[in-house]
Structure formats: C-alpha cells, structure tokens
Amino acid sequence: MLSDKVILLDEPADSDQEALGIMAEHLLKSGAVKESYKPALLQREVDFPTGLATENIGIAMPHTDAEHVNYDQIAFMRLREPVSFLQMGDGVKIQVKFIFMLALKEAHSQLDMLQTLVTLIQDENKIQQLLVATDEDNIVQILKDAGIE
C-alpha cells in the first residue's frame, strides 16, 4: 500500500479541500485511482468529515468508495501549517497536521486500515517520529513499523 511513495512533507495548503485535492492528484498521477476519485473524495469529506483530534495533533483519514480505486495505496501528507478540518462525528473544527489518505480497492479493507491507523496515532512515539522525519523513506519505514504495508 506504500509502493508508490505518495508522501508529501511540509506541504503548504490553505484549506482541507486544497490539501485533499493535492493528495488526490498525486494518487491519480501514480495510477492508483481513477479520475472520479478526487471529486468523490472531496464530496465524501463534506458529507462525512474525517478529522480526528488527538492529544497533541489533528489527523484526517479521508477515503471514498472502492469503485474509484485501481489498486491499494496510502498517501501521507504532513502539512507545513495545520488547516481546519471538521471532526468526524460532531463536525467541530480542528486543526489537522497529518493526513492519511486511503485508496483501497476492497471496501472491507477500509475498516481494517482505519483501525491500524488509529493504533498508530495513539502511539505518541510514532507521531513524534512522523513530525521530525526528513524524507519519504523515513516515513515509509515508520508506517511499515506500524503495520501499514
């Protein structure tokens, strides 16, 4: 799921929609997703927000239906400055620094991957490593160590 290394570090974005659009374009260029992925993803984020506040950092885990995906891939973005996302469940605005974008071919895989990501984001050591990692290979290794492959 990390084969294309869609890893964006210290990326500037002015809004959640801009950040998500940048990531979706990278997934499209990699071939992992179809042209329909980006609009479906952006609409799903409006309808079902994916922001998640943790103790120290806001994280978003956007995804959309498997029909928009060619093959499994996960993209990661560490934003230069946090942007506002709506929190899942209650719609409260939170400041997000990390985005894990899921492009999964099997619908049932999304729940498993979301659970793996929740475990990762509860690990303060891993979050700190993601904050200071200097290149995409470091990020990929941290994610692999967390069980994301």
Q: Where are the domains of the chain?
A: 6-145
User: How confident is the model at residue 16, as a pLDDT?
Assistant: 96
Among 30-39, 77-86, 112-121, the least confident range: 112-121
pLDDT in tens, 7-32: 999 999 999 999 999 999 999 999 99
Q: Residue 117: its pLDDT value, please?
A: 83
Instruction: Identify the pLDDT of residue 39.
Output: 97
Task: Write down the pLDDT at residue 149.
Answer: 74
β-pair partners for 96: 58, 83
| Band (1; pLDDT cuts 50, 70, 90) | low
pLDDT, mean over the chain: 90
Name the residue with higher pLDDT: 111 or 39.
39
pLDDT at 120: 87
The CATH H-level superfamily of 6-145 is Mannitol-specific EII; Chain A (3.40.930.10)
**Residue 4 pLDDT greater than 70, yes or no:** no
Rounded distance between C-alpha atoms, residue 49 and residue 93, angstroms: 10
Alpha-carbon Rg for the chain, nearest whole angstrom, is: 14
What is the pLDDT, as a whole number, of residue 5?
Answer: 80
Query: 131 and 78 in contact (C-beta within 8 Å)?
Result: yes
Question: Is the separation of the CB atoms in 18 and 84 below 8 Å?
Answer: no
Token pair for 38:
């980006």
List pLDDT tens digits, range 57-100: 899 999 999 999 999 998 999 999 999 999 998 989 999 999 99
